[in-house]
Structure 1
Amino acid sequence: MLGNDARRTRVANAYFSLFMAVGNILGYATGSYSGWYKIFKFTLTPACSISCANLKSAFFLDVAFIAVTTYLSIVSAHEVPLSSNGAVHAGEGAGETEEAFMWELFGTFKYFSMPIWIVLSVTALTWIGWFPFILFDTDWMGREIYGGDPNGGLIYDNGVRMGALGLLLNSVVLGVTSLLMERLCRKRGAGFVWGISNIFMALCFIAMLVLTYAANSIGYVNKGQPPPTGIVIAALAIFTILGFPLAITYSVPYALISTHIEPLGLGQGLSMGVLNLAIVVPQTLASPKVS
């Protein structure tokens, strides 16, 4: 459907980011609500406190939505069996008729030009920065901003819920940016937009360090006191602004790698697989080891 068109690729990924943002907004709204245990009263037991019951209820809702959306996907998407359309592609190149197995995926590296390697390298470095934030964003809010203890107490839980609210605002900005993605890339260029978004990301991560230092300097952390309103607003602002670079990260690299790989005749699917390798590798490096 993209027809090897870079503009269509950007638009398609922008819509992907938009719908993902809508889902994130609903999901983080679920996480920021503290009254699920009142609706699903059976989740509150002597062995499961209010925080546990809220989390359990969110998981029940998650399972229900996954079941519904999976059913809709299976019913709506009708795939054509490979054996029935083999004759259609019989006269085309072998790269379009074969599956991109791992050895074929790595075998394409010898065809890569310098711009492709730059896109892959920047993508890998960018995701090394994103994964720790995605893993520990709400924990950072509960520990460093609210000064709570993960093993007990409502202060940490309040911080986690406030972090979920920040991620909700993050998703709102992500959705709005996705709607404006094509206009931004057409006016300034995809590479320029991606570079600016990475600068925003770095500044926001530095701001998180500064805010952590400021919270510790005030002296309320680990004393059972709520954080000052200004500290909370600043943390929410950081979460919100990060929605802009996150939307760019979800969309622009795919369009750039597709633009550079398609002229080599390697195929759209293979180009997406190559870029996903650049994402998976830093994920394994950035993910913490659980003992």
Structure 2
Amino acid sequence: MVVPEGQPQPPRHRRTPTEPPPPPPPSRTPLRLLLRVASVACGIQFGWALQLSLLTPYVQELGIPHVWSSIIWLCGPLSGFFVQPLAGHMSDRSTSKYGRRRPFIVIGCASIIISVLLIGFAADIGGFLGDGEKKTRAIVVFVIGFWFLDMANNATQGPCRALLADLTGNDHRRTRVANAYYSLFMAVGNILGYATGAYSSWYKVLPFTLNTSCDINCANLKSAFLIDVIFIIFTTYISVTAIHEQPMTSVHDAINQESSHPQEAFFWEMFGTFKYLPRPVWLILFATSLTWIGWFPFTLFDTDWMGREIYGGDPNGDQKYSDGVRMGAFGLLLNSVILGITSLFMENLCRRWGSGFIWGVSNFIMFICFLAMLLLSFVASNTDYGSDGVPNGIVIAALVIFAILGMPLAVTYSVPYALVASRIESLGLGQGLSMGVLNVSIVLPQIVVSLGSGPWDELFGSGNSPSFAIAAAASFASGLVTILAIPRSRPEKPKTRQ
């Protein structure tokens, strides 16, 4: 308490010799340790970047038709819906002597390593088992590894973020800093992963990856995932050795350390809360679903679009297609750079203009970019490339679109979470539950897109343009909802000195 000058000061309390000393203030985790703990996101995201940029094209190179390629991605939203809440619930109640979160992080990263090795060596395993021209066994191994990778990624990310929350406690500023570090390492992992996917000569660096069962494109993919294995081991070691978690002596102690909603991690608890949600939260969830209907076709087919429709290649062994895929990976690298830069200004933009308005504008940018992709596909299909290959103007235009999309992606990764968290907090339902509720509005549209985008594209000519048309329409609708229907909070005025 501060007493104005001239007023009598309150008497100071003097501790008697028999009075126990006051408890020491809680120690704050140094920022350098938070940085080390968050570094595991870099290794995880490195593999995600490879998965997003290379695996849809590789699926088709193995012989899976384009119409079915999106079905393979169905595991992502399904595992996000089931596996991530279960892993979080189990880590909350862990009484391992190594701590609650670190064993799950180590096991999850080990599962990621096994998964990427299965994917990278799928063609070799298929050849060993007797594959001929049709790579049936390789496809089976690939799909198993792909689905296992999605589950391992989702099972790892929850305990990673929970460990940062454990270390920061109720210090909201440190919590924001810790999540900023995590986002920073995600961006770095994206950049490194996309850069690795864009390089076309890994088979020369690691020549043992090239053999009769695995051609140059396969060898490049295998080499990239081997580099990912080394990277994950390195970042996981840095993260889990940074701190020593205090083990919980019993499940009761573990639950008591959490919020007053110990069951909030279970997905069935999420459904019970929908009846308590006010109209603004429903609008946010609806806008989030529309936004992800816009994003998921791009996530599935970005590099395939570059190889197939911009470079005019065929997934079945065409070098033009492989060149397009690598150029698409480079475009995603630019996308991640813009994403990281935009994230630095996100708080200031939302404070100045309002979160709903910024979200709406970003969705209109998505709408314009997806229309531009449709227009560019039309131009490329009606242009005679001749012997000189793809005109530089078309390639540059595609890269610019990829880069610009980094801005709305930064908004999608932050603003909906903040809006839902702030509105559910006033209801007393708990922040963990709010993230689960928001996750439902993300995974359900992803399931719809995974099931429908391949057949939809096949219905209108086997390209990616039909899915991007749906993405453009969903982005425009989401922009209208966020600007017109979501209540805008007043911009915060800068604080003046007293």
Q: State TM-score, norm by structure 2.
A: 0.53
Q: Which residue number corresponds to residue 22 of structure 1?
A: 188
Distance 1:2 1:252, change over 3 A: farther
Rounded to whole Å, the distance in 1 between the matches of 2:257 and 2:398 is: 55
SS in 2 for 1:137: helix
Rounded to whole Å, the distance in 2 between the matches of 1:39 and 1:13 is: 36
> Is the Cα–Cα contact under 8 Å of residues 11 and 182 in structure 1 kept in the other structure?
no
Matched, 1:256 2:419: yes
Distance 1:148 1:257, change over 3 A: same
Instruction: Give identity over the alignment, percent.
Output: 62
SS in 1 for 2:223: helix
Distance 1:79 1:246, change over 3 A: farther
Larger Rg: 2
Rounded to whole Å, the distance in 2 between the matches of 1:88 and 1:12 is: 20
Matched, 1:68 2:234: yes
Letter in 1 for 2:433: L
Rounded to whole Å, the distance in 2 between the matches of 1:134 and 1:4 is: 35
Larger deviation, residues 244-253 vs 8-17: 8-17
Matched, 1:42 2:208: yes
Query: Which runs of structure 2 are paired with 1:222-241 in the superposition (5 Å)?
Result: 226-241=389-404
Q: Which residue number corresponds to residue 283 of structure 1?
A: 446
Distance 1:285 1:8, change over 3 A: farther
Match for 2:271 among 106, 111, 132?
106
Letter in 2 for 1:209: L
Letter in 2 for 1:98: Q
Alignment root-mean-square deviation, CA: 2.5
Q: Which residue number corresponds to residue 252 of structure 2?
A: 83
Larger deviation, residues 8-17 vs 257-266: 8-17
Larger deviation, residues 52-61 vs 168-177: 52-61
Distance 1:169 1:79, change over 3 A: farther
Q: Which residue number corresponds to residue 306 of structure 2?
A: 141
Higher helix share: 1
Structure 2: any 5+ residue segments left out of the alignment? 1-167, 456-498
Query: Which runs of structure 2 are paired with 1:115-194 in the superposition (5 Å)?
Result: 115-194=280-359
Larger deviation, residues 203-212 vs 187-196: 187-196
> Is the Cα–Cα contact under 8 Å of residues 365 and 405 in structure 2 kept in the other structure?
yes
Structure 1: any 5+ residue segments left out of the alignment? none
Letter in 2 for 1:168: L
> Is the Cα–Cα contact under 8 Å of residues 217 and 322 in structure 2 kept in the other structure?
yes
Q: Offset of 1:179 from its aligned partner?
A: 1.1
Q: Offset of 1:76 from its aligned partner?
A: 3.8
Indicate the structure whose relative CO is greater, using CA pairs within 8 Å and at least 6 residues apart.
Answer: 1
Larger deviation, residues 280-289 vs 29-38: 280-289
The one-character-per-residue Cα deviations of 1:100-141 (angstroms, maximum 9, x if unpaired) are 323321111111011100110111111111111111100000
Rounded to whole Å, the distance in 1 between the matches of 2:414 and 2:175 is: 9
Distance 1:87 1:53, change over 3 A: closer
The one-character-per-residue Cα deviations of 1:217-263 (angstroms, maximum 9, x if unpaired) are 2133xx77611110000000000000000111011110000010001
> Is the Cα–Cα contact under 8 Å of residues 9 and 254 in structure 1 kept in the other structure?
no
Rounded to whole Å, the distance in 2 between the matches of 1:168 and 1:249 is: 18
> Is the Cα–Cα contact under 8 Å of residues 166 and 240 in structure 1 kept in the other structure?
yes
Q: Offset of 1:4 from its aligned partner?
A: 9.9
Query: Which runs of structure 2 are paired with 1:48-59 in the superposition (5 Å)?
Result: 48-59=214-225
Across the two proteins, how many residue pairs are aligned to each other? 284
